[in-house]
Amino acid sequence: MEMSSEIIATTPDSEIVSTRTVNFPIELVFKAWSEPNHLKNWWGPKGFTNTFNEFDFRVGGKWSFIMHGPDKGNYVNEVEFIKIEKPTLIAWKRHSKPLFQILATFEELSNDSTKIVFKMLFNTVEECNKLKPYVVDKNEENFDKLEVVLAKMS
């Protein structure tokens, strides 16, 4: 896979980090994050569904989707993949607001155990603090949905 060095440098104050260890092999976990037919089934907090318009999984590729909230809201997301290292890393940057980057890493702990570290990287501490109260719980809901999909995949 191609390399890209566009991941922004951050300090702990400008990151939101969520971690989850799942009892599934790393290859399966990577597949759940990199194949749209799986990703669309779990991406987003509880009650959200997705419509994917474009999913070009390569460095420089676009991921364009609409998240449909349980409250009838529709949220347009425009994303570009900036770094991919199969099966250990996927990074992307958002072109729609709020602006931040995502760095997702996958670490094989054993044959059927994978540690996921999901980092939201912000340009400023202020931007990070604006979202922090909302997203920490939502990221956990996202992981919960991921585990349901992984169970169906395995």
Outline where DSSP puts E strands in the chain. Answer: 15-22, 49-55, 62-68, 74-85, 89-94, 101-110, 113-121
Q: How many angstroms from the chain centroid is the CA of residue 78?
A: 13
State both tokens at 55. Answer: 């999913």
Q: What local confidence, expressed as pLDDT, does residue 6 receive?
A: 82
Q: Which fold, 14-153?
A: Alpha-D-Glucose-1,6-Bisphosphate; Chain A, domain 4 (3.30.530)
State both tokens at 100. Answer: 């931040």
Q: How far apart are CA 38 and CA 151, in angstroms?
A: 12
Burial class (CB in 10 A: 0-12, 13-18, 19+), 29: buried
pLDDT tens digits along 17-35: 999 999 999 999 999 999 9
Give the DSSP per-residue string, 92-103.
EEESSSSP-EEE
Q: What local confidence, expressed as pLDDT, does residue 5 receive?
A: 53
Q: What local confidence, expressed as pLDDT, does residue 2 receive?
A: 47
Can you give the pLDDT of all 154 residues of the chain as single tens digits? 445 458 888 999 999 999 999 999 999 999 999 999 999 999 999 999 999 999 999 999 999 999 999 988 999 999 999 999 999 999 999 999 999 999 999 999 999 999 999 999 999 999 999 999 999 999 999 999 999 999 999 9
Q: What local confidence, expressed as pLDDT, does residue 46 receive?
A: 94
Q: How far apart are CA 45 and CA 94, in angstroms?
A: 17
Q: DSSP letter at 4? A: -
Residue pair 62/79 in contact (Cβ under 8 Å)? The answer is yes
